[in-house]
Amino acid sequence: MVSAMMNIRRYLLILSLLFMLPLSLVAVEDMPRTFSPAVVKMVGTISPRDIEIVVTNEADLELTSDDAVMEFIFPSQEQWEVSQSLNFYYSSHLAIEKKGTLSFQVDDLNLDKNNSLRISLELYNNNNANTRVEPNGSSFFVTFKEGVQNRTPIGTLTVKIRKNASDIYSAGMYRGFFSMNYTEMN
């Protein structure tokens, strides 16, 4: 009888262990699982865009180096003044603002060494807070703002040619040029 009781106790112990094992497995499945952290690398690029300066004529047509010709028709009068204007804009995508100077140098219109029409340049900043022009100056001093800037006005350059009543010029094709130079300031 003692032996039968021992066997019954063993069977009960084994049954209780077998019964508890599936319960403990079920309990493990209900508990939240933890995973080692995953690292996802993300890469993105914001490309800076250098300063791009655009020149337009009075009709607001963009000029390139191929078609940047200014043609003047001189009136048949004793005294006259003719002019043409060019508008300057910039586009950029800068991380920080930059400062620069857009300078102009002009050459007179010449037929030959005895016939030369004097040219004058007038620069206007068009009330643009980013551009400064010295009085009678030949340069735009520009602050190029940070961030995206599209077709932001710099200013207007007007080329003027004047003939006084006392001036005498020979008929013919007069040629000249003006040049632009951009210098970035630190």
- Tell the residue number behind the tokens 């040619």, with chain if given: 161
- Give the start-to-end residue ranges of the domains of the chain: 49-185
pLDDT at 1 over 70: no
- Report the predicted TM-score, pTM, of the whole model to 2 decimal places: 0.70
State the Cα–Cα distance between residues 176 and 70, nearest whole angstrom.
Answer: 10
- Return the amino acid letter for 27: A
Query: pLDDT digits over 15-60, tens only?
Result: 555 555 554 545 555 556 677 777 777 777 666 668 999 999 999 9
Structure tokens at 149: 């800037």
For residue 50, give the 3-state DSSP assignment: strand
Q: Identify the residue with better confidence: 65 or 9.
A: 65
Query: pLDDT digits over 64-75, tens only?
Result: 877 667 888 888
